């Protein structure tokens, strides 16, 4: 009996040791004589928002490939870039787990996360570990209001985006009855609140405020309730995975209102998710349209050639985020996060999305907001507000 006991304990111990040994083998695939730098990308790679997360991962991998091909030299030594992609499933509970994993792997920097709801909790971990983090897409203002020196973003935030959308609804669409739905995530709720405030301030009348979750597929009940208030505009703060079915169900209920969303729905995937119901939808984006980005068209081409699909949503921003890190490393002459972090804050870089400079909180300076309309299965840019050429706060709408 005792022998069996000892035996089984020994086997168990060996098994545990074995498991521990096959942990992450982060052996440098190694440039000869140079350093290997790993940059992390954290995004929803599985689940309902996986198409957007994969898009970001593709962009970062493309950027790493380009950087490796360009034989980047930092501090006199050639550097080889590796990418570590982690899946946060768009879940605020998974985000800190993923962030800790990346921090433990000692990545030099992180492009991530995608959702505001995941970026904000993760940012605390990166801040504690001193890892610079650029989110290519999180728009909730709270992300940069936490006072973390490591938190940056290369898009405008929802205070600007929501304001533009709210004012557009009130002034351009001249809405008399605005209904607002949000998915109760940090992002959806945040942008919907700002839109409500701005629209009201600009004279619109909000007739309904309904909620859903970011995993729902049945919106008939809330849409029916909204139908009773006879809205002319419906704003949805949420992601394309919900917006598609929501639009279909809206049209199925005979609701003719104008559907407006923010950056979460402005993806190329929305047309597949919503079919014909998407036609005429308006959506904002905290950046320029791809074809008006300084190197947008060529990036779009290269992306399509490499990944056999079009850019989904935030790929250009992901690409630029990676390169901001590379540029900061070059300027600091070091791949050590402690050394190049201050350089990130001083970035003055012309990326493919446009000029990138950060303010003292880590927000993008002079970030433009574009309003798109869904026409014939594609997004067409209607107007761009703000941006470096017009300066902060100027509302000169450049009509295409």
Partner 1 sequence: MDILLQQLINGVTLGSVYALVALGYTMVYGIIGLINFAHGELVMVGALTALSVIAALLRLGLGLPPAAMMLIALLAALPVCMLLAYAMERVAYRPLRRAPRLAPLITAIGVSIVLQNVAMLVWGRSYFSFPPILSVTNYDVAGATITDLQILIVLLSAALMAGLLLIVHRTRLGLAMRATAENLGVAALMGVDANRIIVAAFLLGSALAAVAGLMVSAYYGIAHYYMGFLLGLKAFTAAVLGGIGNIGGAMLGGLLLGVIESLGAGYIGDLTGGFLGSNYQDVFAFMVLVVVLTIRPSGLLGERVSERA
Residue 208 C-beta: closest distance to partner 1, Å: 9
Contact flag: residue 47 with partner 1 (CB under 8 A): yes
Q: Which is nearer to partner 1, 211 or 349 (CB)?
A: 211
| Contacts of partner 1 in 182-211 (CB under 8 A) | 184, 210-211
Residue 367 C-beta: closest distance to partner 1, Å: 30
Contact flag: residue 238 with partner 1 (CB under 8 A): no
Cβ neighbours around 184 below 10 Å, total: 15
Contact flag: residue 100 with partner 1 (CB under 8 A): no
Judge whether 203 and 177 are in contact, CB under 8 Å.
Answer: no
Contact flag: residue 272 with partner 1 (CB under 8 A): yes
Residue 242 C-beta: closest distance to partner 1, Å: 9
398 exposed, middle or buried (CB, 10 Å; 0-12, 13-18, 19+)? Answer: middle
Contact flag: residue 225 with partner 1 (CB under 8 A): yes
# chain residues binding partner 1, by CB under 8 A: 34
Contact flag: residue 46 with partner 1 (CB under 8 A): yes
Residue 209 C-beta: closest distance to partner 1, Å: 8
Q: Which two tokens stand for residue 234?
A: 């419906």
**Contact residue for partner 1 among 241, 281, 323, 335 (CB under 8 A):** 241
Taking each helix axis from N to C end, the angle separating 296-307 and 315-332, rounded to the nearest 10 degrees, works out to 110
As a whole number of angstroms, the distance between CA 137 and CA 126 comes to 17
Q: Which is nearer to partner 1, 229 or 298 (CB)?
A: 229
Q: What letter would DSSP give residue 3?
A: H
In total, the chain counts a number of residues equal to: 400
Which residue, 59, 149, 39, 150, is CA-closest to 102? 39
299 exposed, middle or buried (CB, 10 Å; 0-12, 13-18, 19+)? Answer: buried
**Contact residue for partner 1 among 124, 142, 197, 251 (CB under 8 A):** 251
Contact flag: residue 51 with partner 1 (CB under 8 A): yes
Judge whether 332 and 279 are in contact, CB under 8 Å.
Answer: no
Judge whether 115 and 241 are in contact, CB under 8 Å.
Answer: no
**Contact residue for partner 1 among 31, 36, 48, 268 (CB under 8 A):** 48
Q: What letter would DSSP give residue 255?
A: -
Contact flag: residue 172 with partner 1 (CB under 8 A): no
Judge whether 372 and 266 are in contact, CB under 8 Å.
Answer: yes
**Contact residue for partner 1 among 31, 97, 177, 253 (CB under 8 A):** 253
Residue 348's beta-bridge partner residues? 357
Per CB under 8 A, the segment of 44-52, 94-102, 121-129, 330-338 that binds partner 1 is 44-52
Judge whether 129 and 350 are in contact, CB under 8 Å.
Answer: no
Contact flag: residue 309 with partner 1 (CB under 8 A): no
Residues that bind partner 1 (CB under 8 A): 46-48, 50-51, 184, 210-213, 216-218, 220-222, 224-225, 227-228, 241, 244-245, 248-249, 251-254, 272-276
């Amino acid at each position: 009996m005792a022998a069996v006991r000892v035996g089984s304990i020994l086997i168990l111990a060996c098994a545990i040791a074995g498991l521990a040994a096959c942990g992450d083998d982060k052996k440098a695939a190694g440039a000869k004589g140079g350093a290997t730098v790993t940059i992390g990308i954290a995004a929803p790679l599985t689940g309902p928002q996986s198409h957007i997360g994969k898009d970001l991962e593709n962009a970062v991998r493309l950027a790493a490939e380009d950087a490796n091909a360009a034989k980047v030299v930092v501090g006199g030594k050639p550097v080889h870039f590796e990418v570590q992609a982690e899946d946060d499933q768009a879940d605020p509970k998974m985000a800190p787990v993923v962030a800790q994993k990346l921090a433990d792997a000692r990545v030099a920097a992180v492009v991530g996360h995608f959702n505001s709801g995941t970026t904000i909790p993760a940012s605390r971990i990166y801040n504690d570990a001193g890892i610079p983090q650029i989110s290519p897409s999180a728009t909730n203002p709270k992300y940069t209001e936490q006072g973390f020196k490591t938190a940056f973003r290369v898009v405008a935030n929802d205070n600007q985006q929501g304001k533009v959308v709210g004012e557009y609804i009130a002034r351009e669409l001249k809405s008399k009855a605005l209904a607002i739905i949000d998915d109760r995530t940090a992002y959806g709720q945040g942008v919907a609140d700002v839109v409500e405030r701005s629209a009201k301030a600009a004279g619109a009348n909000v007739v309904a405020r309904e909620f859903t979750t970011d995993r729902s597929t049945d919106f008939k009940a809330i849409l029916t309730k909204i139908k009773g208030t006879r809205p002319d505009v419906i704003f949805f703060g949420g992601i394309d995975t919900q917006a598609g079915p929501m639009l279909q169900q809206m049209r199925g209920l005979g609701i003719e209102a104008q559907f407006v969303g923010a950056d979460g729905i402005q993806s190329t995937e929305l047309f597949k998710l919503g079919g014909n119901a998407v036609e005429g939808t308006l959506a904002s984006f905290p950046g320029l349209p791809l074809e008006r980005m300084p190197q947008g068209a060529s990036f779009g081409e290269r992306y399509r050639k490499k990944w056999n699909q079009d850019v989904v949503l935030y790929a250009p921003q992901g690409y630029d985020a990676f390169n901001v890190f590379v540029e900061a490393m070059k300027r600091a002459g070091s791949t050590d996060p402690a050394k190049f972090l201050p350089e990130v804050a001083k970035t003055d870089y012309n990326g493919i999305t446009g000029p990138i400079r950060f303010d003292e909180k880590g927000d993008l300076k002079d970030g433009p907001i574009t309003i798109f309309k869904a026409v014939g299965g594609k997004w067409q840019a209607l107007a761009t507000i703000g941006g470096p050429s017009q300066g902060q706060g100027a509302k000169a709408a450049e009509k295409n």
